[in-house]
Amino acid sequence: MIGPKLNYSVVWIFAIAMMVMSYSCRTEKPTIVIVTVKDTTGKTLSGASVRLYYQHDSLPDDQVRVDQTKSTGGDGKAHFDFSDLFELGQAGFAVLDVDVDGEKKVGVVKVEPEVENEAIVVKK
């Protein structure tokens, strides 16, 4: 009778160990944002300066938590990588404002962690 109880204990310990190991070995996937800039006619704009940032109302203008600027390529897309700002286990990431060529808040992008997020903004 002692044998089957011992076997169940070993099975449970093994199962718990496998669950812990599989969770701790999970690797982070990239958190990417691609912003496509178009003009009012729908044509993509190359060489546009795209700024993604988050600033809480209670912070002064010079204290922005997330702030990256990239230029659009020939396809009108600017690529941002926020993987280094995301931590595994974190719930969500951010909602960022989008400026284009100095034009303030032409859009917003909700950034989901560990996926490729896309947004289209129109420069007036």
pLDDT digits (tens, 9 = 90+) for 3-18: 556 566 666 676 676 6
What is the pTM for the complete model shown?
0.73
- Whether residue 111 lies inside any domain: the answer is yes
pLDDT tens column, 52-108: 998 776 666 666 678 999 999 999 999 999 988 877 666 678 899 999 999 999 999
Cα three-residue angle 6-22-25, rounded to 5 degrees: 135
What integer pLDDT is reported at residue 55 of this predicted model?
Answer: 75
| Residue 47 burial (10 A CB sphere; 0-12, 13-18, 19+) | exposed
- Whether residue 91 lies inside any domain: the answer is yes
Number of domains in the chain: 1
**CATH number for the domain harbouring residue 102:** 2.60.40.1120
- Whether residue 78 lies inside any domain: the answer is yes
pLDDT tens column, 8-53: 666 667 667 666 655 556 677 899 999 999 999 999 999 999 999 9
- Whether residue 13 lies inside any domain: the answer is no
- Whether residue 49 lies inside any domain: the answer is yes
